[in-house]
């Protein structure tokens, strides 16, 4: 997104602190990408996260806040939340006690996500032996829609079944496979009892099919399996349709194009640092441009884990200290970026000129209102400035004169800091003015 006006306000000191030299990288075409300040979207303990295809949502696995209460005796709970990171709107999708329960979620395309829950049911007078319940539910982010794909009901066992689903969300159906492995009398010969069902989650229709382990989603968004004979591919595909019917057709052997490399990438780094007497490694990450320049690298975060760029390349998410942070990426055109560089250079020149002008006035108070001579100017002013670079950037154009002899201090130039498109001029009364090149 283009936020050049907002970024210009930042450079001018009217917004959150961003440095064009620290938080901006230039690209091949002369445009630039700026890192907005980080925002925390999840706390206190995020374990992992994943982006939706649209880059709008994050699925986060973490530990619930109540688990960290010092007065709470409750067992820590594993929580899955859906976060719309721009608005910071968060929705708890599923929450279960930690092991032996299973609580997971994964994106399955088009901002749909699949939630797997395996929970141990508590004992009760009606239940004399341990029982579990295993469910698979499909959700659509940003809506209240959900579709149950599988529900084992109450099962008298403590061993979770190997149940998984392959959704074809484009056409509104999924394949659910219940893969249970038992044992025959001969312990070396396992007995497989596999059930495969096509679930049309828009109509509710369910169709049992012959199970297979090679079903996938084809480029057109349908469930399919390649057909083999004597372990050789026949060149035919079997396509399962949402209404439960089956089509066989010649396979279209099409190679998917490789994803083109983006205009920028993440570059991890590590550094040693000492805490008390202990040396530890801090893992940081940089945003890197392929263009070698003064703006080739921008620090995303230090001592962070699992940095990941959103699929639409609009933001970067990472874990730091158990919290999940997001930094938005803002695109700036070549002309806009150059304009901001000019503004930053002007501000920097004005700041240096102002600090040297202030140092000169402090010097006047210590030298009976006599301006320093040109010869040895830097050495005389150095005790009154922060560092040598400010004095070196300042061109002193005034001679050794008494301040009381100046008729118009506001119009008397004493020096300047030169920029590419102008200069920051300091005057005898202490004020500084930017004058453009003719």
- pLDDT on residue 327: 96
- Is the residue at 56 inside a domain? no
Q: Please give the pLDDT value at position 195.
A: 75
Q: What are phi and psi for residue 377, nearest 5 degrees?
A: -55, -45
Q: Which residue has the higher pLDDT, 181 or 406?
A: 406
In a shared domain, residues 326 and 342 = no
In terms of domains, do 345 and 319 share one?
no
Residues 306 and 368 in one domain: no
What mean pLDDT is reported for the chain?
Answer: 84
- Total domains present in the chain: 2
Does 313 lie in the same domain as 399?
no
Residue 380 has pLDDT above 50, yes or no: yes
Alpha-carbon Rg for the chain, nearest whole angstrom, is 33
Residue 188 lies in a domain: no
Using 50, 70 and 90 to split pLDDT, how confident is the model at 17? low
Sign of the alpha-carbon torsion through 55, 60, 65, 70? negative
The rounded percent of the chain whose pLDDT value lies above 90 is 45
pLDDT at 136: 94
What residues form DSSP beta bridges with 424? Answer: 417, 434
pLDDT digits (tens, 9 = 90+) for 331-348: 888 988 888 888 888 989
Q: What is the pLDDT averaged over residues 48-62?
A: 95
Q: Is residue 123 part of a domain?
A: no
Helices vs. strands in the chain: H and E counts, helices first: 4, 29
Q: Are strands 297-301 and 278-288 parallel, antiparallel or unpaired?
A: antiparallel
269 and 351 co-located in one domain: no
SS3 311: coil
312 and 343 co-located in one domain: no
Q: Which residue has the higher pLDDT, 140 or 400?
A: 140
| C-alpha dihedral (12, 13, 15, 17), degrees to nearest 10 | 110
Q: Examine the domain organization and report whether 291 and 305 are in the same domain.
A: yes
Q: Identify whether 324 is part of a domain.
A: yes
In terms of pLDDT, which residue wins out, 97 or 69? 97
On whether both 354 and 314 belong to a single domain, the answer is: no
Domain C-terminal end among 315, 332, 349: 332
At 165 the pLDDT is 92
**pLDDT range class, residue 182, cuts 50, 70, 90:** very low
Domain shared by 370 and 432, yes or no = yes
Domain presence at residue 66: no
pLDDT at 186 over 60: no
| Residue 395 within a domain | yes
- CB under 8 Å to 245, separation ≥6 — which residues? none
Indicate whether 349 and 415 sit together in one domain: yes
From 332, 350, 377, the end of a domain falls on 332
Last residue of a domain, one of 314, 332, 350: 332
Say what the pLDDT of residue 303 is: 85
Residue 272, in any domain of the structure? yes
Q: How many CB atoms lie within 10 A of CB 400?
A: 12
Of 112-116, 266-270, 381-385, minimum mean pLDDT range: 266-270
Judge if 345 and 419 occupy the same domain: yes
Indicate if 307 and 382 belong to the same structural domain.
no
**Residue at 45 is within a domain:** no
For 213-265, write each residue's pLDDT tens digit.
678 888 889 998 888 888 888 888 889 999 888 898 887 755 655 555 578 89
pLDDT band at 43 (very low <50, low <70, confident <90, very high): confident
Range of the domain at 305: 1-37+264-332
Average pLDDT over residues 81-90: 95
């Amino acid at each position: 997104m283009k936020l050049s006006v907002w970024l210009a306000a930042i450079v001018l000191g009217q917004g959150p602190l961003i440095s064009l030299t620290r938080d901006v990288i230039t690209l091949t075409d002369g445009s630039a990408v700026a890192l907005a300040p980080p925002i925390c979207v999840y706390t206190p303990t995020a374990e992992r996260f994943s982006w939706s295809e649209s880059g709008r949502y994050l699925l986060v696995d973490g530990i619930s806040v109540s688990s960290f209460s010092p007065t709470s005796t409750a067992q820590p709970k594993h929580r899955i939340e859906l976060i719309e990171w721009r608005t910071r709107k968060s929705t708890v999708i599923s929450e279960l006690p930690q092991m032996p329960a299973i609580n997971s979620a994964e994106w399955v395309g088009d901002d749909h996500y699949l939630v797997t829950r395996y929970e141990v049911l508590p004992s009760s007078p009606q239940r004399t032996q341990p029982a579990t319940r295993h469910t698979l539910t499909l959700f659509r982010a940003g809506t209240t829609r959900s579709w149950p794909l599988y529900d084992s009901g109450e099962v008298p066992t403590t061993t979770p079944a190997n149940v998984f689903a392959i959704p074809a969300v484009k056409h509104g159906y999924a394949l659910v496979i219940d893969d249970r492995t038992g044992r025959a009398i001969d312990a070396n010969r396992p007995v497989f009892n596999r059930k495969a069902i096509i679930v049309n989650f828009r109509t509710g229709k369910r169709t049992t099919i012959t199970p297979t382990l090679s079903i996938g989603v084809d480029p057109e968004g349908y469930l399919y399996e390649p057909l083999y004979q004597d372990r050789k591919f026949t060149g035919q595909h079997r396509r399962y349709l949402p209404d439960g019917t089956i089509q066989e057709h010649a396979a279209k052997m099409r190679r998917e194009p490789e994803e083109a490399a983006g205009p920028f990438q993440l570059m991890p780094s590590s550094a040693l640092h000492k805490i008390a007497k202990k040396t530890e490694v801090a893992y940081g990450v940089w945003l890197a441009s392929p263009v070698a320049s003064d703006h080739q690298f921008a620090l995303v975060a230090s001592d962070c884990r699992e940095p990941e760029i959103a699929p639409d390349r609009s933001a970067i998410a990472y874990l730091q200290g158990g919290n999940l942070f997001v930094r938005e990426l803002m695109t700036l055109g070549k002309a806009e970026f150059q304009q901001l560089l000019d503004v930053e250079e002007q501000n920097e020149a004005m700041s240096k000129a102002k600090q040297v002008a202030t140092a000169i006035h402090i010097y006047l108070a210590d030298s009976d209102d006599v301006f320093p001579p040109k010869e040895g100017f830097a050495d005389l002013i150095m005790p009154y400035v922060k560092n040598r670079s400010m004095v070196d950037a300042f061109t002193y154009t005034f001679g050794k004169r008494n301040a009381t002899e100046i008729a118009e201090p506001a119009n008397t130039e004493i020096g300047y800091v030169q920029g590419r498109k102008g200069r920051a001029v300091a005057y005898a009364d202490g004020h500084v003015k930017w004058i453009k090149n003719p």
